[in-house]
């Protein structure tokens, strides 16, 4: 009887185990935009989408007053992100594989002021103070044609 109960529980819960990692996925810099809805759920925010001929911008507003903007190319790749608000968003979440680059540069940094990383592959800047943080990150080589750094806010 006990075995039968455990077997039935396993049969019903096992498929959920495969869904759990997918529900925790989020959209990161350089990734496909499919996971933006997961970002909204993870951040408990509301989304507004603005589409231009060159890109779409998905703006997520969080309950704490923060705003995260994810810029998506017509091909569906997140080529830039921007944020502002009372706190720093989960940079590991929004930077994805570029988080380690940012973290290593920050560890070597001396002094105060904005953290800036400016390479051909990755641009990152973050500044601010308590209750007022701002930042952007972009992949310069993946900017759609006709999109400039000034378009990323």
23-75 pLDDT tens trace: 333 468 887 766 555 555 566 678 899 999 899 999 989 888 999 999 999 99
Is the pLDDT reported for residue 9 higher than 90?
Answer: no
DSSP structure class, residue 152: -
pLDDT for residue 110: 84
pLDDT for residue 47: 82
C-alpha atoms less than 13 angstroms from C-alpha of 112 in its C-beta half-sphere:
2
Q: What are phi and psi of 91, to 5 degrees?
A: -65, -30
The answer to whether 47 and 60 are in contact (CB under 8 A) is yes
- Is the Cα torsion angle 129, 35, 71, 122 positive or negative in sign? positive
The answer to whether 94 and 83 are in contact (CB under 8 A) is yes
Mean pLDDT score of the chain: 79
pLDDT for residue 112: 85
More confident residue, 79 or 60: 79
For helices 2-24 and 36-43, angle between their N-to-C axes, nearest 10 degrees: 110
pLDDT for residue 24: 32
Calpha distance 134→88 (Å, rounded): 8
DSSP structure class, residue 61: E
CB-CB neighbours of 78 under 10 Å = 27
| Percent of the chain surpassing pLDDT 70 | 74
pLDDT for residue 41: 57
């Amino acid at each position: 009887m006990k075995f039968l109960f455990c077997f039935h529980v396993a049969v019903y819960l096992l498929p959920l185990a495969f869904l759990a990692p997918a529900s925790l996925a989020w959209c990161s810099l350089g990734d496909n935009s499919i996971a933006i809805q997961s970002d909204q759920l993870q951040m408990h925010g509301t989304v507004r989408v603005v589409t231009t001929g060159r890109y779409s911008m998905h703006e997520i507003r969080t309950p704490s007053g923060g705003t995260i903007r994810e810029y998506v190319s017509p091909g569906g790749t997140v080529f830039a992100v921007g944020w502002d608000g009372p706190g720093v968003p989960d940079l590991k979440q929004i930077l994805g594989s570029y988080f380690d680059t940012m973290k290593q540069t920050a560890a070597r940094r001396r002094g105060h002021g904005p953290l800036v990383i400016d390479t051909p592959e990755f641009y990152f800047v973050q500044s601010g103070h308590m209750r007022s943080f701002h930042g952007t990150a972009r992949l310069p080589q993946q900017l759609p044609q006709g999109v400039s750094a000034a378009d990323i806010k």
